[in-house]
Amino acid sequence: MTGLVDTDGDTPDERAALFPPSRAAALERLSDFVPRAGRHYAAQRNRDPGPGGRDNVSLLSPYIRHRAISEHEVIARVLARHSPEAAEKFVQEVFWRTYWKGWLQMRPRVWRAFLEERDSDRARLAEDDGLREAVAAAEAGRSGVDGFDQWARELVATGYLHNHARMWFASIWIFTLRLPWTLGADFFLRHLLDADPASNTLGWRWVAGIQTPGKIYLATTDNIARFTDNRFGPHGLASEAPAIRDESPPAAGALPGPRPLPRGRRVLLLLHGDDFSGQEVLPKETDVAAIAVARRGHPDMPWPFGAATGHWVDTLAEDAARRAGESLQQPATVLPQLNAETLRSQCATAGVTTIATPEAPVGPLADALDVIAHELGEDGIEVIPLRRMWDDLAWPHATHGFFRFKRQIPELLARNGL
pLDDT in tens, 63-118: 999 999 999 999 999 999 999 999 999 999 999 999 999 999 999 999 999 999 99
Nearest to 395 by CA among 106, 142, 199: 106
Angle between helices 307-328 and 181-191 (to 10 degrees): 50
Residues 218-237: tens digit of each pLDDT: 999 999 999 999 999 999 99
DSSP helix/strand/coil, 333? strand
Q: What is the pLDDT of residues 177-209, one digit of tens each?
A: 999 999 999 999 999 999 999 999 999 999 999
| Max Cα-Cα span within the chain | 65
Q: Which residue in 93, 12, 15 sits closest to 51, CA to CA?
A: 15
pLDDT at 7 over 90: no
Question: Looking at the chain, which residues constitute the CATH 1.10.579.10 domain(s)?
Answer: 115-227
Residue 12: pLDDT band with limits 50, 70, 90: low
As annotated, the residues of the chain forming the CATH 1.25.40 domain(s) are: 12-105+395-415
Domain boundaries for CATH 3.40.50.620 within the chain: 266-387
Can you give the pLDDT at residue 2? 31
- The model's confidence at residue 279, banded by pLDDT at 50, 70 and 90, is very high
Average pLDDT over residues 33-60: 95
Per-residue pLDDT at 61: 97
pLDDT tens digit string along 361-376?
A: 999 999 999 999 999 9
Q: Which of 92, 118, 115, 90 is nearest to 104 (CA)?
A: 115
Question: What proportions of the chain, in percent to the nearest 5, are helix, strand and coil?
Answer: 55, 10, 40
Rounded-to-integer distance, Cα 252 and Cα 71, Å: 24
Best CA proximity match to 280, nearest among 323, 315, 335, 334:
323
What does the CA dihedral 365, 273, 199, 384 come to, rounded to 10 degrees?
50
Q: Out of 3.40.570.10, 1.10.579.10, 3.30.499.10, 3.40.50.620, which CATH number does the structure's domain 115-227 have?
A: 1.10.579.10
Instruction: Strands of 97-211 (E only): list them.
Output: none
pLDDT at 167 over 80: yes
CATH architecture of 12-105+395-415: Alpha Horseshoe (1.25)
> Domain spanning 266-387 has what CATH number?
3.40.50.620
User: What is the pLDDT at residue 216?
Assistant: 93
pLDDT in tens, 405-418: 999 999 999 999 99
| Number of C-beta neighbours around residue 283 at 10 A | 13
pTM of the model: 0.95
Our CA dihedral for 323, 326, 327, 330, rounded to 10 degrees, sits at 110
| Spatial contact of 383 and 369, defined as CB atoms under 8 Å apart | yes
Q: pLDDT tens digits, residue range 315-359?
A: 999 999 999 999 999 989 999 999 999 999 999 999 999 999 999
User: Please, which contacts does 135-143 make with residues 24 or more away whose CB atoms are closer than 8 Å?
Assistant: 135/179, 135/183, 138/173, 138/177, 138/179, 138/184, 138/187, 139/187, 143/177
pLDDT for position 52: 84
